[in-house]
């Protein structure tokens, strides 16, 4: 957490006003890491798939969506309040009979809805209530017919969305694990009912692969199937992908078999037919397999897994594809204009080649390496006196610390190759 703050990954939300629990702001490097996670997900779950369509559904949908989906009634947690200090706790996560903060008496348990409420228009009355979406999935279901009408896809096909979701979490989170505001990467994969197990297994395998691609060590990733009593109201089978965080094994991502629950209820409640007609003129509600991933939770697992330390250095051993900065460029000495000029040219060239590149000419090269290791930059390029003679530079590898000399003319392709290899 200290590294994340110091080096510009994650800042506590609204810090100068004392903070807001479970909110965070993302600095340049955190933003880049999140962007890279989303890019990798989009590449694997949308672009590489045969028939997956992207969607940018709204954060504010009709409140009728959340009534139909069951969230108004069921998206609740049991809550107790301390009668003395008025702190609130999730009853199902509390072992003690009295308030853990002050020892006070706890209230009776009541259900607390996790959706944020707001109002549309000028008046605050029940007619104008709106909710900030607690999942991106519902925008997909209510646009199912739009996608079918525009693209006429054959089953199976998917609709995917990356976007913000909001939950009024009352449990104090572990860093960015549980947030009021977070991003989801969700795919609703529409299938014929008979095939659900096959598709469930396919997406489970895909999630395992995505964990490996994100750099998570297989020993720290496990799976846990939900008991019937803990499954969401819409699900017939749910498997959590769990990660062994420093604070324990906890949910990383979810995979749910949502049946035809959502399309069916939206059809009933909206009066618009959301069924599907296949090539043989059979009309039915497709069933749904849903892999759902949180961006921040992924980022936290990726950071925990990548953090490495010995007596000499702290290194974020991030997968190069996820590293916020791919390469850093240094002139050996900041007060040698020839070296600085050449290094600037290389820096510009790599930037123009669309890489995230850092420049550093402060202190000595050792300190610069240390600073780049700490933020996970896989490669550091140093322009030295030999560069001026033979147009080669040294490239130093973050993990092995080994250096090799590479021709300046080959730098762009060298980095490209290394990124493909890693």
Q: Which residues bind ligand GAP (CB under 6 A)?
A: 135, 137, 167, 169, 178-179, 182, 184, 186, 251, 253-254, 290, 292-294, 296-297
Of the candidates 178, 135, 134, 166, the residue with the CA atom closest to the CA atom of residue 296:
178
Contact (CB, 8 A) for 283 and 342: no
Give strand pairing partners of 391: none
Which CB, 253 or 261, lies closer to ligand GAP? Answer: 253
Closest distance to ligand GAP from the beta carbon of 298 (Å): 7
Q: Which residue is nearest to ligand GAP (CB)?
A: 294
Give strand pairing partners of 162: 185
Relative to beta strand 307-309, strand 379-383 is unpaired
Closest distance to ligand GAP from the beta carbon of 133 (Å): 10
CA 179/CA 94 separation, integer angstroms: 19
CA 180/CA 167 separation, integer angstroms: 5
Please report the sign of the dihedral spanned by the C-alpha atoms of residue 374, residue 375, residue 376, residue 378. negative
CB neighbour class for 281 (10 Å; exposed up to 12, middle 13-18, buried from 19): exposed
Query: Concatenated DSSP letters for 389-412?
Result: HHSEEEEEETTT--EEEEEGGGHH
Closest distance to ligand GAP from the beta carbon of 130 (Å): 19
Closest distance to ligand GAP from the beta carbon of 30 (Å): 14
Q: Angle 401-403-406 (CA atoms, 0-180°, nearest 5)?
A: 145
Which CB, 239 or 358, lies closer to ligand GAP? Answer: 239
Closest distance to ligand GAP from the beta carbon of 295 (Å): 8
Closest distance to ligand GAP from the beta carbon of 103 (Å): 28
Contact (CB, 8 A) for 368 and 328: yes
Which CB, 244 or 356, lies closer to ligand GAP? Answer: 244
Which CB, 170 or 323, lies closer to ligand GAP? Answer: 170
Which CB, 256 or 332, lies closer to ligand GAP? Answer: 256
Which CB, 251 or 361, lies closer to ligand GAP? Answer: 251
Closest distance to ligand GAP from the beta carbon of 177 (Å): 7
Which CB, 297 or 326, lies closer to ligand GAP? Answer: 297
Which CB, 184 or 392, lies closer to ligand GAP? Answer: 184
- Residues with Cβ < 8 Å from 70, sequence gap 6 or more? 233, 234, 265
Coil, helix or strand for 9?
coil
Closest distance to ligand GAP from the beta carbon of 194 (Å): 23
């Amino acid at each position: 957490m200290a590294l994340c703050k110091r080096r510009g990954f994650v800042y506590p939300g609204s810090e100068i006003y004392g903070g807001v629990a479970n909110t965070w702001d993302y600095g340049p490097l955190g933003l880049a890491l999140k962007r890279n996670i989303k890019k990798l997900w989009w590449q694997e779950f949308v672009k590489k798939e045969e028939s997956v369509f992207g969607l940018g559904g709204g954060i504010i949908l009709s409140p009728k969506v959340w009534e139909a989906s069951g969230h108004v009634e069921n998206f609740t947690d049991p809550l107790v309040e301390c009668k003395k200090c008025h702190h609130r706790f999730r009853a199902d996560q509390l072992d003690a009979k009295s308030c853990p903060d002050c020892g006070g008496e706890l209230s009776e348990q009541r259900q607390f809805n996790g959706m944020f409420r707001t109002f549309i228009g000028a008046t605050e009355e029940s007619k104008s209530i709106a909710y900030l979406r607690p999942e991106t999935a519902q925008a997909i279901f209510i646009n199912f017919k739009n996608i079918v009408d525009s693209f006429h896809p054959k089953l199976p096909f998917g609709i995917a969305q990356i976007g913000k979701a909001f939950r009024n979490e009352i449990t104090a989170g572990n860093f960015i694990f549980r947030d009021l505001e977070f991003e989801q990467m969700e795919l609703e994969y529409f299938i014929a009912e008979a095939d659900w197990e096959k598709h469930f297994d396919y997406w489970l395998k895909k999630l395992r692969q995505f964990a490996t691609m994100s750099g998570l060590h297989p020993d720290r990733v496990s799976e846990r199937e939900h008991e019937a009593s803990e499954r969401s109201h819409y699900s017939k089978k749910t498997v959590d992908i769990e990660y062994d965080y420093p604070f324990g094994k906890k949910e990383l991502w979810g995979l749910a078999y949502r049946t035809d629950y959502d399309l069916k209820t939206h059809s009933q409640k909206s009066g618009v037919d959301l069924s599907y007609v296949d090539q043989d003129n059979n009309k039915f509600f497709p069933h749904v397999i849903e892999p759902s991933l949180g961006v921040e939770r992924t980022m936290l697992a990726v950071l925990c897994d990548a953090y490495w330390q010995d007596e000499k250095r702290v290194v974020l051993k991030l997968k190069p594809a996820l590293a916020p900065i791919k390469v850093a460029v240094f002139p050996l000495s900041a007060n040698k204009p020839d070296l600085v000029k050449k290094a600037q040219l290389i820096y510009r060239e790599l930037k123009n080649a669309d890489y995230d590149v850092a420049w550093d000419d402060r202190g000595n090269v050792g300190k610069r390496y240390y600073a780049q290791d700490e933020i996970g930059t896989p490669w550091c390029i140093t322009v030295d006196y030999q560069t001026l003679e033979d147009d080669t530079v040294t490239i130093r590898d973050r993990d092995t610390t080994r250096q090799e000399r590479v021709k300046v003319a080959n730098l762009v392709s060298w980095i490209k190759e290394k990124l493909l290899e890693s």
